[in-house]
Chains A and B, each alone.
Chain A
C-alpha cells in the first residue's frame, strides 16, 4: 500500500523512528483507553485509496449529470439569487491564507480581522447602523438571533411577524424561539401585499418584544410604510427588526434611517456563487446601544490602537458579556460561521463602490420591471399579483391559464428554462403562483425567450 500523500509521517522509516522515541512497539498501545469490546475489528466498507486523477474523473462524471445555471436559463430566487460574481471575488477567497486560517489572534491574523472590520463597516453604511457583528450562517439564523436579542433586551416574549414572511425563515425562527417566544402573525393587504397597519395596531401590546419585517418581502415587493411600522413598535415599547436583501439598499432607504433597532439579512448577493444553497452569509446589525450590544449573540470586534501610533489593531468587544435575564443565559451558540464569505462580500462592496451599487439596484429593477411587463403580456398570466413597487422578485399567477405551476415548470424545462419557485403550497390563498427572480444577469433576449416559452407552455 502506497504511503499517503497527505501524511508525512506515514513513511515507514519515520514512523519507526517516532515509535522508538516513544518506546512503543505497536500503535495500538496508544488506544489503551478504548475498551476492547467496542473496537472495530473489520475494515470499513469504503472505497480503496484512490489516486487524484481517478477521484477527479469520478466526481466530474457525477457532476456532468447536473445542468447548472450556465446551461439552464433560471428565474429562481427565494433566498438565494443568481448575480454576477466579479472575478476578483474568487481570486481573493482562493488565497490560501484566507482559506486555511481559522481562529488565530490578531497578531498572526491581522488581515482576517481587518477584512472583517471592513465588511462590518460597509454593511453598517449600507443599512445605516453603527454596530455589525461577526457574520452567521444565513438570513434565517440571523433573524433567529435577532429574536433572541429582543427577548433578552425587553424581557417580553412575543414577536409579531407579517404573513408574507418567507416560510423557510419562519420555520427557523420558530425552531430558535420554541419555549422562548410566541410568534404572532400580522395580516397583509390582499391588493398591495403591504403589512396591514390596522391589524398591527390591534395586535401589538405591552407583551410584544418586537416587530419583524422583511423589506423587500419574500414575495418581492417593497414595504413602503417602514417608518410608520417602526413608530408603532416604539410607541408600544417594542423593538423593530428589519430583514433585508442588500442590493436593494442601493436604491431604498436604509432601515437604520427609518427606525430599525436591529437589521438582519442575506449577504449571498454580495459576491457569492449560489453553490446549491451553500453560499449563504447572514449578517446582523444594531444601533450602538449598550443593551443591544450586550445582547448580541455573536462575537464583535472593535477597531483600536496599538503601542505604535500609526498602527490599527482589533479587539473583541465585551468578551465577558453578562446576560440580562437568567432564562436567556445560554440561548445562542455560534462557532465556525461564514467569515470567508464576509471577506468576499467586503471585496465585492469595495469593487462596486457607492456609484456601482446605486446603478446595480436600478439596473436590476429595470430588468425585473421589463420582465413583469413582458410576462403579463402572455394571456392568462398576471405578474405581479400585488400592486406595490417591486425589486428583483415578483409573483406570477397562472390561475387564468388553468395550469398549475408544477405543470408550467415541467414544460418550461423542456425549453431549457427553469421557472420560478412554486409557492402554491406555501401561500394557497394566492392560487397557482410562482415566485420569479430577474437580476442584472438576465438579458433582454433571456426575458423575451421566457415570455415566448410561457406563451407556448400555457396553450
Chain B
C-alpha cells in the first residue's frame, strides 16, 4: 500500500486581524495592538477551520502535520483531526519567524502540500522559507490578498488540496505580491512582485467523448508555446520591454537568454540589452527608438499594469504607444482570475488607464488569442 500523503497546515493567527476594524494589514506590533484595542477578532483560524471541515470528509486519505496551538493544532483538534504536532512557539506571541520556521520544518519532513491561512504577508513568509521547493496553497484569510496563491474560498482551498493529494490537480507557479505597507495605509497602492510559490490549480478536465481538441496543456507547456510564438515574431528593429512573471520569462528561455523573474528587462535582436531597469533607465533607453512592451497579468486579480511592474510607468507607455503593448497569458491564468472577469490597469495616470481600457487581445497560444475586457 502506498504511504499516505502528508499535508502541512500553518495558521497565521493574526492575519486578517485589522481588516474588520478598518486597518489595512497587521504587520508590526503597533498595528496589532491597535487592532486588538478596536476589538478585532482573529479571522484566519475561522477560515482555516472551514477548510479543515471540508478536508475532514477524507481524513483517512492523508496525515496532517501542523504547528502548536494557535498556529494549527487548535483548529485541527476542533475538527476531530489528530495531527502530528511539530516545532515550538511562544503562545500568544507568534511572529513571521514562526511562520517561516513552520514552513521550513514541514519542507524538511517532505510534506506533499502546505496549506497556509493568511494574507500576502503570510504568503511572503512562506515564499521566503521554501520558495518553490514544496507545493503550497493559501486559505484566504488576510486583509491584503493580491497574490495569486490563494484559493477562491476556504472551502475551495480544502477541495483543491484534496484534489492535489489525489493526483488530480497539476501545479503552476503563482505570484506572491508584496505591498508597500505604509503607502497602502495612506491609501496608495504600490505592489511589488516578491516571488513565486508552486500552487495546485483546477485544470479544465478533458472529457474524451465526442470531439474538439484532444489535449489539455499544463501551464508550463502553454507558456512554452506562447514563448515560441512571440519569439518567432520578434522584429529586429524593435526594443522589447519584457515585464516580470513566469510567462514572460518563458520567452527569454525560448530565446536562450537570461531574464530576471521579478524585474523589467529589455531585449533587442534576441539579446539582452539591460536587466532590472527602473522607470528612468527605461525612458532613457527607449528615447527615439521603436519599442514594444510585453506584459502578463500579475497576481490574483489580473493586473496588467500597476502591480509588480510600475517601472513601466504611464510615461513609458505613452512614449511607446498603446498599440505596441502586447499582452500574453495562458488560458489557465485567465481562468484563475475568473472567466469573463476583466483584466485591470492602475498605472496611476487616469488618461493612460482610459486608453488602455476597453477590449484588448491577449495572446494565449500559438496562433491563438482571446479578447478580454480591460478596465481601470
Chain A residues at the B interface, C-beta cutoff of 8 Å:
103, 297, 299, 316, 319-323, 326-327, 329-330, 332-336
Other A-B pairs beyond A326-B365, A330-B213, 19, CB < 8 Å: A297-B214, A299-B208, A299-B214, A321-B214, A321-B215, A322-B218, A322-B221, A323-B215, A326-B224, A326-B225, A326-B228, A327-B367, A329-B217, A329-B365, A329-B366, A332-B214, A333-B213, A335-B210, A335-B212
Q: Provide the bound-state CA to CA distance between A327 and B225, in Å.
A: 9
Q: Provide the bound-state CA to CA distance between A336 and B212, in Å.
A: 11
Chain B residues at the A interface, C-beta cutoff of 8 Å:
206, 208-218, 221, 224-225, 228-229, 365-367
- Nearest Cβ on chain A to B329's Cβ, whole angstroms: 16
Q: Provide the bound-state CA to CA distance between A45 and B221, in Å.
A: 53
Task: Sample 16 A-B pairs with CB under 8 A, ordered by A number.
Answer: A103-B209, A103-B210, A320-B215, A321-B214, A322-B217, A322-B218, A326-B224, A326-B225, A326-B366, A327-B367, A329-B225, A329-B366, A330-B213, A335-B211, A335-B212, A336-B211
In the complex, the chain B residue whose C-beta lies closest to that of A335 is: B211
Which residues in B have their C-beta under 8 angstroms from that of A333?
Answer: 211-213
In the complex, the chain A residue whose C-beta lies closest to that of B225 is: A326
Whether A327 touches B213, Cβ cut-off 8 Å, given contacts A319-B208, A322-B218, A322-B221, is no
In the complex, the chain A residue whose C-beta lies closest to that of B217 is: A322
Q: Provide the bound-state CA to CA distance between A458 and B209, in Å.
A: 56
Q: Is the CB of B225 within 8 A of A320?
A: no
- Nearest Cβ on chain A to B8's Cβ, whole angstroms: 28
Q: Is the CB of B366 within 8 A of A327?
A: yes
Of all A-B residue pairs in the complex, the 9 with the closest CB atoms, nearest first, are A335-B211, A326-B366, A326-B225, A103-B209, A335-B210, A330-B213, A319-B208, A321-B215, A316-B208
Which residues in A have their C-beta under 8 angstroms from that of B365?
Answer: 326, 329
- Nearest Cβ on chain A to B207's Cβ, whole angstroms: 8
In the complex, the chain B residue whose C-beta lies closest to that of A317 is: B208
Which residues in B have their C-beta under 8 angstroms from that of A326?
Answer: 224-225, 228-229, 365-366
Q: Provide the bound-state CA to CA distance between A335 and B209, in Å.
A: 8
Q: Provide the bound-state CA to CA distance between A321 and B217, in Å.
A: 8
Which residues in B have their C-beta under 8 angstroms from that of A316?
Answer: 208
- Nearest Cβ on chain A to B211's Cβ, whole angstroms: 3
Q: Provide the bound-state CA to CA distance between A329 and B228, in Å.
A: 13
In the complex, the chain B residue whose C-beta lies closest to that of A331 is: B213
Q: Provide the bound-state CA to CA distance between A316 and B206, in Å.
A: 11
In the complex, the chain B residue whose C-beta lies closest to that of A298 is: B214
Q: Provide the bound-state CA to CA distance between A299 and B212, in Å.
A: 11
Q: Is the CB of B211 within 8 A of A334?
A: yes
Q: Is the CB of A320 within 8 A of B206?
A: yes
Which residues in B have their C-beta under 8 angstroms from that of A299?
Answer: 208, 214
Which residues in A have their C-beta under 8 angstroms from that of B217?
Answer: 322, 329
- Nearest Cβ on chain B to A412's Cβ, whole angstroms: 44
Which residues in A have their C-beta under 8 angstroms from that of B218?
Answer: 322
Most B CB within 10 A of own CB, among A320, A323, A326, A332:
A326
Which residues in B have their C-beta under 8 angstroms from that of A323?
Answer: 215
In the complex, the chain A residue whose C-beta lies closest to that of B228 is: A326
Q: Provide the bound-state CA to CA distance between A332 and B214, in Å.
A: 8
Q: Provide the bound-state CA to CA distance between A297 and B366, in Å.
A: 19
- Nearest Cβ on chain A to B164's Cβ, whole angstroms: 16
Q: Provide the bound-state CA to CA distance between A193 and B225, in Å.
A: 44
Q: Provide the bound-state CA to CA distance between A336 and B214, in Å.
A: 14
- Nearest Cβ on chain B to A71's Cβ, whole angstroms: 39
Q: Is the CB of B213 within 8 A of A336?
A: no
Q: Is the CB of B215 within 8 A of A322?
A: yes
Q: Provide the bound-state CA to CA distance between A91 and B185, in Å.
A: 79
Q: Provide the bound-state CA to CA distance between A332 and B213, in Å.
A: 7
- Nearest Cβ on chain A to B312's Cβ, whole angstroms: 27
Which residues in A have their C-beta under 8 angstroms from that of B224?
Answer: 326
- Nearest Cβ on chain B to A66's Cβ, whole angstroms: 34
Q: Provide the bound-state CA to CA distance between A150 and B209, in Å.
A: 25
In the complex, the chain A residue whose C-beta lies closest to that of B229 is: A326
In the complex, the chain A residue whose C-beta lies closest to that of B366 is: A326
- Nearest Cβ on chain B to A6's Cβ, whole angstroms: 24
- Nearest Cβ on chain B to A224's Cβ, whole angstroms: 38
Which residues in B have their C-beta under 8 angstroms from that of A330?
Answer: 213
Q: Provide the bound-state CA to CA distance between A333 and B210, in Å.
A: 9
Which residues in B have their C-beta under 8 angstroms from that of A329?
Answer: 213, 215, 217, 225, 365-366
Which residues in A have their C-beta under 8 angstroms from that of B229?
Answer: 326
Q: Provide the bound-state CA to CA distance between A322 and B217, in Å.
A: 6
- Residue from the list A319, A321, A327, A336 in contact with B210, Cβ < 8 A: A336
Q: Provide the bound-state CA to CA distance between A327 and B212, in Å.
A: 16
Q: Provide the bound-state CA to CA distance between A327 and B367, in Å.
A: 8
- Nearest Cβ on chain A to B264's Cβ, whole angstroms: 26
- Nearest Cβ on chain A to B328's Cβ, whole angstroms: 14
Which residues in A have their C-beta under 8 angstroms from that of B211?
Answer: 333-336
In the complex, the chain B residue whose C-beta lies closest to that of A296 is: B214
Q: Provide the bound-state CA to CA distance between A33 and B28, in Å.
A: 56
In the complex, the chain A residue whose C-beta lies closest to that of B232 is: A326
- Nearest Cβ on chain B to A232's Cβ, whole angstroms: 32
In the complex, the chain B residue whose C-beta lies closest to that of A103 is: B209
- Nearest Cβ on chain B to A4's Cβ, whole angstroms: 28
Q: Provide the bound-state CA to CA distance between A297 and B212, in Å.
A: 11
Which residues in A have their C-beta under 8 angstroms from that of B216?
Answer: 320, 322
In the complex, the chain B residue whose C-beta lies closest to that of A319 is: B208
- Nearest Cβ on chain B to A58's Cβ, whole angstroms: 34
Q: Provide the bound-state CA to CA distance between A269 and B59, in Å.
A: 57
Which residues in B have their C-beta under 8 angstroms from that of A334?
Answer: 211
In the complex, the chain B residue whose C-beta lies closest to that of A330 is: B213
In the complex, the chain B residue whose C-beta lies closest to that of A300 is: B208
Most B CB within 10 A of own CB, among A297, A321, A329, A334:
A329
Which residues in B have their C-beta under 8 angstroms from that of A297?
Answer: 214
Q: Provide the bound-state CA to CA distance between A327 and B211, in Å.
A: 19
Q: Provide the bound-state CA to CA distance between A335 and B210, in Å.
A: 5
Which residues in B have their C-beta under 8 angstroms from that of A335?
Answer: 210-212
Q: Provide the bound-state CA to CA distance between A293 and B227, in Å.
A: 26
Q: Provide the bound-state CA to CA distance between A316 and B207, in Å.
A: 10
In the complex, the chain B residue whose C-beta lies closest to that of A324 is: B221
Q: Provide the bound-state CA to CA distance between A334 and B210, in Å.
A: 8
In the complex, the chain A residue whose C-beta lies closest to that of B213 is: A330
Q: Provide the bound-state CA to CA distance between A333 and B218, in Å.
A: 20
In the complex, the chain B residue whose C-beta lies closest to that of A328 is: B366
Q: Provide the bound-state CA to CA distance between A299 and B229, in Å.
A: 28
Q: Provide the bound-state CA to CA distance between A319 and B209, in Å.
A: 10
Which residues in A have their C-beta under 8 angstroms from that of B215?
Answer: 320-323, 329
- Nearest Cβ on chain B to A417's Cβ, whole angstroms: 43
Which residues in B have their C-beta under 8 angstroms from that of A322?
Answer: 215-218, 221
Which residues in A have their C-beta under 8 angstroms from that of B212?
Answer: 333, 335
Q: Provide the bound-state CA to CA distance between A332 and B211, in Å.
A: 10
Which residues in A have their C-beta under 8 angstroms from that of B213?
Answer: 329-330, 333
In the complex, the chain B residue whose C-beta lies closest to that of A321 is: B215
- Nearest Cβ on chain A to B215's Cβ, whole angstroms: 5
- Nearest Cβ on chain A to B203's Cβ, whole angstroms: 8
Which residues in B have their C-beta under 8 angstroms from that of A321?
Answer: 214-215
In the complex, the chain A residue whose C-beta lies closest to that of B207 is: A319
